[in-house]
């Protein structure tokens, strides 16, 4: 998993707090995307798009801020009274305990100042444990450190001296010898359930047309898309904004899927998230340097994308196929006599291609006509970039399980619009 700092740095920045670094370490191990935003303020994001969660250290947008400033025992006791939790022992108390609660479950009890770093959780009564968890449940605290003063932690809560502090950003490192912090961090992350949104990356110097076509069909089936082409970010409201990274799109809570176009030379950029793409579309890799780099990515299995759609009419692209054994490859060709295509079909592997009469998808079992070529205008049929774009659009629809009859209907409408465009360079990007 490659974490991203403004999409520029793949290593955890040590100016982040220990808490933040711990969460990022666990996220990386669990293949959760990391977007590092502001180390100085401990600000980072786990997940992309609608599944993203913004963290400031241990605090997220879902965290309750009620207790962030409650340091006065009198106020806390008033809250406890409202919950009918009585803590009122007038005797002088010298022992301080910290109770760590994660996802509203008491995980650890630390005796402050003790040379014995042991978890004293088992010493609490069942009733005391339930009352502490009840406090965090009512106030929706998924993470809290509750400071307790008592000479005897084994006594019922009403015999404790006081609960003096509720901290929502505890220093987790002090519990390292008491509990498995990585397991605890995993539980915390699971609570928020950050995840990646699908990214489709189109690689090649003619990627703009393909990005636009793929984006169009995804929009037509109701997906909220965001696209980035040549460092310009667009969304469905037609707003565009100059940006030299994808961080704005990746933070957009409305985006369900990103269609991302990059030039072939951008493959060598470490800060681009194409390696995490759900689908990687390769239109052309003509440069020997880019081919060598792409080969090394595949050989070392550094592409998490398990689905690759590739233009096999571009002879140089064929060099990549030797290292794609662990990937599912969708071969795309405008030449039905292409020998590589025929071998793919004979091997019952998916392919999208044109025959004499139709644009066809082979799903591994059947050849399914998607659209009749006679429905396309001569202008479209003569434009190899547009035709290739239609092949990749069908491949994307197949990957995202859009039924063929739906794809056919959308393409018929889309090609009608395309045929009305007198100049393809003016084709709007949705």
41 and 78 fall within a common domain: no
Using DSSP's 3-state secondary structure scheme, residue 26 falls into helix
Count of domains observed in the chain: 3
91 and 22 fall within a common domain: no
276 and 420 fall within a common domain: yes
110 and 224 fall within a common domain: no
Find the domain containing 26 and state its range: 4-60
pLDDT (0 to 100) of residue 244: 37
Query: Where are the alpha helices (H) located in 117-246, listed in sequence order?
Result: 126-138, 181-192, 207-220
| CB 49 within 8 Å of CB 250 | yes
* Interatomic CA distance for residues 291 and 5, integer angstroms: 27
Burial of 267 per CB tally in 10 Å (0-12, 13-18, 19+): buried
Q: Is residue 81 part of a domain?
A: yes
First to last CA, the chain: 30
Q: Is residue 184 part of a domain?
A: no
| CB 32 within 8 Å of CB 1 | yes
pLDDT (0 to 100) of residue 397: 93
Read off the tokens for 64.
């309750």
279 and 403 fall within a common domain: yes
Q: Is residue 304 part of a domain?
A: yes
Among residues 239, 237, 288, the alpha carbon closest in space to that of 265 is found at 288
pLDDT (0 to 100) of residue 9: 44
pTM greater than 0.75: no
17 and 85 fall within a common domain: no
380 and 241 fall within a common domain: yes
265 and 349 fall within a common domain: yes
pLDDT (0 to 100) of residue 208: 83
Q: Is residue 187 part of a domain?
A: no
347 and 223 fall within a common domain: yes
pLDDT (0 to 100) of residue 423: 46
Among residues 3, 60, 58, 67, the alpha carbon closest in space to that of 36 is found at 3
Q: Is residue 372 part of a domain?
A: yes
| CB 392 within 8 Å of CB 202 | yes
262 and 355 fall within a common domain: yes
pLDDT by residue for the chain (430 residues), tens only, comes to 444 444 444 455 458 999 999 999 999 988 888 888 888 889 999 998 888 899 988 888 777 656 555 555 666 767 777 767 766 665 667 789 999 999 889 999 999 988 888 999 999 999 999 988 988 887 778 888 998 888 889 988 888 877 878 888 889 999 999 999 999 999 888 888 888 888 888 888 778 888 888 998 999 899 888 887 755 555 555 544 433 346 678 888 888 888 888 877 666 665 556 667 788 888 877 666 666 666 666 654 555 556 888 898 988 777 777 666 667 889 999 999 999 999 989 989 899 999 999 999 999 999 999 999 998 888 888 888 889 999 999 999 999 999 999 999 888 888 777 666 544 444 554 5
245 and 159 fall within a common domain: no
Q: Is residue 25 part of a domain?
A: yes
Q: What phi and psi, each to the nearest 5 degrees, are found at residue 237? A: -85, 0
* Interatomic CA distance for residues 332 and 312, integer angstroms: 6
Domain final residue pick, 20, 39, 60 = 60
pLDDT (0 to 100) of residue 304: 56
Among residues 62, 69, 144, 162, the alpha carbon closest in space to that of 105 is found at 144
Q: Is residue 183 part of a domain?
A: no
CATH code of 387's domain: 3.40.1190.10
227 and 267 fall within a common domain: yes
- The radius of gyration computed from the CA coordinates of the chain, to the nearest angstrom, equals 28
* Interatomic CA distance for residues 385 and 214, integer angstroms: 13
């Amino acid at each position: 998993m490659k974490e991203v700092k403004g999409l520029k740095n793949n290593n955890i920045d040590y100016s982040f707090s220990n808490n933040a670094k711990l969460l990022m370490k666990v996220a990386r191990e669990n293949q959760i995307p990391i977007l590092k935003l502001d180390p100085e303020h401990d600000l980072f994001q786990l997940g992309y798009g609608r599944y993203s969660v913004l963290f400031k250290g241990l605090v997220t947008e879902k965290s309750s801020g009620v207790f962030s400033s409650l340091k006065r025992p009198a106020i806390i006791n008033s809250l406890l009274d409202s919950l009918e939790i009585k803590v009122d022992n007038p005797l002088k108390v010298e022992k301080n305990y910290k109770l760590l609660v994660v996802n509203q479950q008491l995980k650890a009890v630390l005796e402050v100042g003790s040379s014995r770093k042991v978890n004293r959780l088992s010493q609490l009564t069942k009733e005391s444990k339930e009352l502490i968890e009840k406090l965090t449940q009512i106030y929706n605290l998924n993470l809290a450190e509750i400071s307790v003063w008592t000479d005897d932690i084994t006594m019922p809560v009403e015999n404790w001296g006081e609960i003096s502090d509720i901290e929502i950003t505890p220093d987790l490192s002090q519990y390292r010898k008491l509990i498995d912090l990585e397991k605890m961090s995993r539980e915390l992350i699971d609570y928020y359930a950050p995840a990646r949104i699908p990214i489709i990356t189109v690689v090649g110097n003619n990627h703009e047309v393909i990005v636009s076509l793929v984006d169009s069909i995804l929009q037509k089936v109701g997906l909220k898309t965001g696209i980035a082409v040549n460092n310009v970010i667009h969304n469905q409201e037609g707003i565009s904004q100059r940006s030299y990274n994808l961080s704005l799109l990746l933070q957009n809570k409305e985006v369900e899927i990103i269609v991302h176009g990059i030039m072939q030379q951008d493959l060598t950029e470490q800060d681009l998230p194409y390696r995490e793409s759900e689908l990687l579309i390769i239109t052309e890799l003509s440069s020997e340097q880019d081919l060598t780099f792409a080969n090394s990515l595949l050989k070392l299995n550094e592409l998490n994308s398990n689905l690759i759609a590739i233009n096999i009419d571009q002879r140089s692209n064929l060099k990549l196929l030797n290292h794609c054994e662990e990937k599912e490859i969708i071969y795309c060709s405008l030449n039905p006599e292409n020998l590589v295509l025929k071998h793919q079909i004979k091997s019952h592997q998916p392919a999208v291609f044109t025959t004499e009469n139709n644009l066809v998808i082979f799903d591994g079992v059947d050849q399914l006509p998607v659209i009749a070529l006679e429905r396309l205008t001569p202008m479209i049929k003569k434009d190899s970039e547009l035709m290739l774009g239609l092949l990749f659009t069908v491949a994307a629809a197949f990957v995202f399980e859009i039924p063929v009859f739906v794809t056919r209907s959308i393409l018929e409408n889309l090609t009608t619009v395309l045929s009305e465009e007198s100049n393809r360079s003016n084709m709007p990007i949705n």
